[in-house]
């Protein structure tokens, strides 16, 4: 599965405001190694998000009960994400919260796809696809989600 949609600015602004509050209160992930380099990353906030927001975020592709993890990232100047997969979920997504640099690279078995961060763009993908974020100099912001479901899409 590799699917792109665009969400309205109300949802994007909601998550930008959440991220601003978490940064202000220094609510960051501190327990173990993460692939985020030179950035601020929250712990799992899925329980803090209202069901109607989750429903709009998933836009009919998945049930809100399938959403098991959400975290926000603010990349500082020079921030990036190392190559990784999400081994404990079936599908993942990235929602870009601003227009920025620091393209996301997806390494499929037979091709590479490069996505430019565009505010409101959400990319759903199979969690085992290796991906990374190139270095950002424009303070890129994203929401990352994890989905566990019995629903299967053909592909990778």
Global pTM exceeds 0.85: yes
Q: Residue 145's beta-bridge partner residues?
A: 70, 93
Confidence of residue 153 (pLDDT cuts 50, 70, 90): low
At 82-135, the pLDDT tens digits run: 999 999 899 999 999 999 999 999 999 999 999 999 999 999 999 999 999 999
- 106 closest CA partner among 120, 119, 93, 88: 93
Q: What does the pLDDT read at residue 138? A: 92
What is the pLDDT, as a whole number, of residue 156? 42
Under a CB-based contact definition with an 8 Å cutoff, are residues 128 and 83 in contact?
Answer: no
Q: Are 114 and 40 in contact (CB under 8 A)?
A: no
pLDDT-derived band at 36, boundaries 50, 70, 90: confident
Q: How far is CA 68 from its chain centroid?
A: 13
Q: Is the pLDDT reported for residue 27 higher than 60?
A: yes
Comparing 33-42, 59-68, 136-145, the range with the smallest average pLDDT is 33-42
Rounded to an integer, the average pLDDT of 142-155 is 83
> 45-65 as b/e, with b when 16 or more CB fall inside 10 Å?
beeebeeebbebbbeebbebe
């Amino acid at each position: 599965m590799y699917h792109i949609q665009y969400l309205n600015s109300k949802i994007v602004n909601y998550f930008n405001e959440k991220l601003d509050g978490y940064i202000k209160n220094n609510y960051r992930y501190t327990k173990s190694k993460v692939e985020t380099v030179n950035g601020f990353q929250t712990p799992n906030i899925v329980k803090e998000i209202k069901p109607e927001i989750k429903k709009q975020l998933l836009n009919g592709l998945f049930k809100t009960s399938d959403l098991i993890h959400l975290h926000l990232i603010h990349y500082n100047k020079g921030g990036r994400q190392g190559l990784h997969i999400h081994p404990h979920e079936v599908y993942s997504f990235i929602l870009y919260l601003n227009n920025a640099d620091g393209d996301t690279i997806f390494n499929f078995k037979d091709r590479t796809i490069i996505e430019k961060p565009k505010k409101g763009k959400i990319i759903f993908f199979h969690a085992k696809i290796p991906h990374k974020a190139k270095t950002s100099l424009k303070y890129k912001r994203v929401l990352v989600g994890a989905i566990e479901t019995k629903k299967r899409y053909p592909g990778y």
